[in-house]
Amino acid sequence: MVLAVEPVKLARRLAARRVGAGTVPVRHIGLDGQAIALANASCDAALSTFTLCTVADPDRVLAELRRVLRSGGRFHFLEHGIAPEPSVANLQRRIEPWQRRLADGCHLTRDSLALVGQAGFVVERYEQGYAAGPKPWSYFTVGIAVNHPRWRCLQLVHHRPWWYPGGYVLSCYLSRMWPDDLGAELSSWLVTL
Ligand SMILES: C[S@@+](CC[C@H](N)C(=O)[O-])C[C@H]1O[C@@H](n2cnc3c(N)ncnc32)[C@H](O)[C@@H]1O
């Protein structure tokens, strides 16, 4: 089962014929990738093609994808974005305001690889290069990233637990990156003060 998120009716209509002809059932489950109506860790894989360029807040979309993907689930992406050559990148910056107005908010200068990494995905493999067409629109990134839980930080907590009436305890917790798991106490060392 494929669960699709797409706000534009025309896009859904355009997809309908191929969806109908396919063997995998596709269910439209929402209008906004920034707020996906699915439970945490409920999906095995995710896919985005040429959408991180258009969404208003790609960081929120990627955080949502991490939330709904199970641990170890893969995010597959194909996006256009900022070119490595300064002359092309400068041209992209100049054209971008027009592109956004004319192409439904599409940005030319987003760096999808960096965005995916900053969101906490571990990029497993990727390729970048120019496809056919004018350079400002054709620097593509295709990649696969894994939703690994990563150790985020050592949390120091100073508290007075019921089992140690003699004083305060400084606990050191390792927390995981997932918002839901923040505070999950996976190991601790206790120092009595
Ligand atoms: C350039 S089109 C790409 C369409 C298609 N994925 C493809 O590869 O041809 C960008 C798509 O992002 C969709 N989009 C815009 N904002 C969105 C959002 N907040 N959540 C999900 N999709 C969004 C647009 O409706 C549009 O279909």
Dump pLDDT digits (tens) for 42-70. Answer: 999 999 999 999 999 999 999 999 999 99
Look at residue 187 in the predicted model and tell me its pLDDT. 39
With a 6 Å cutoff on the Cβ, whether 33 touches ligand 1 is: yes
32 C-beta closer than 6 A to ligand 1: yes
Which has the closest alpha carbon to 32: 82, 119, 105, 123? 105
What pLDDT is stored for residue 153 in this prediction? 44
Of residues 149 and 126, more confidence is placed in: 126
- Inter-CA distances, 83 with 88, 139, 190, Å: 6, 6, 50
pTM value surpassing 0.85: no
pLDDT(126) > 60: yes
User: Strand 69-80 relative to strand 122-130: parallel, antiparallel, unpaired?
Assistant: unpaired
pLDDT at 15 over 60: yes
CA 34 to chain centre: 10
CB 31 within 8 A of CB 11: no
> How far does residue 55's CA lie from ligand 1's centre (Å)?
7
Q: Is 6 in the pocket of ligand 1 (CB under 6 A)?
A: yes
Both tokens of 126, joined, read 């990727």
Q: Which CATH code for domain 32-146?
A: 3.40.50.150
- pLDDT tens for each residue of 136-147: 999 999 999 999
Per cent of the chain over pLDDT 70 is: 77
Q: What is the mean pLDDT of the chain?
A: 85
Which atom of ligand 1 lies nearest, measured to the CA of 105? 15
Ligand 1 centroid – CA 181 distance (Å): 30
**What is the per-residue pLDDT for 185?**
38
Distance 38 CA to ligand 1 centre (A): 19
| Distance in angstroms (rounded) separating the CA atoms of residues 19 and 86 | 40
Q: In the 8-state DSSP scheme, what is residue 180?
A: G
| pLDDT at site 172 | 52
Asked if residues 116 and 62 have their Cβ atoms less than 8 Å apart, the reply is: yes
In sign, the C-alpha dihedral spanning 185, 187, 191, 192 is positive
* Two structure tokens written together for 159: 């508290």
Spatial CB neighbours of 189, under 8 Å, sequence gap ≥ 6:
171, 172
Ligand 1 in reach of 49 Cβ (< 6 A):
yes
99 lines ligand 1 (CB under 6 A): no
Residue 78: pLDDT over 60: yes
CA of 156 to the centre of ligand 1 (A): 42
Residue with CA at minimum distance from ligand 1 atom 14: 55
| pLDDT surpassing 90 at residue 164 | no
Higher pLDDT, 85 or 168: 85
Q: Where are the domains of the chain?
A: 32-146, 151-192
Q: Report percent pLDDT > 90 for the chain.
A: 74
The pair of three-digit structure tokens given for residue 118, joined into one six-digit string: 């900053």
Residue 8: CB within 6 Å of ligand 1?
Answer: yes
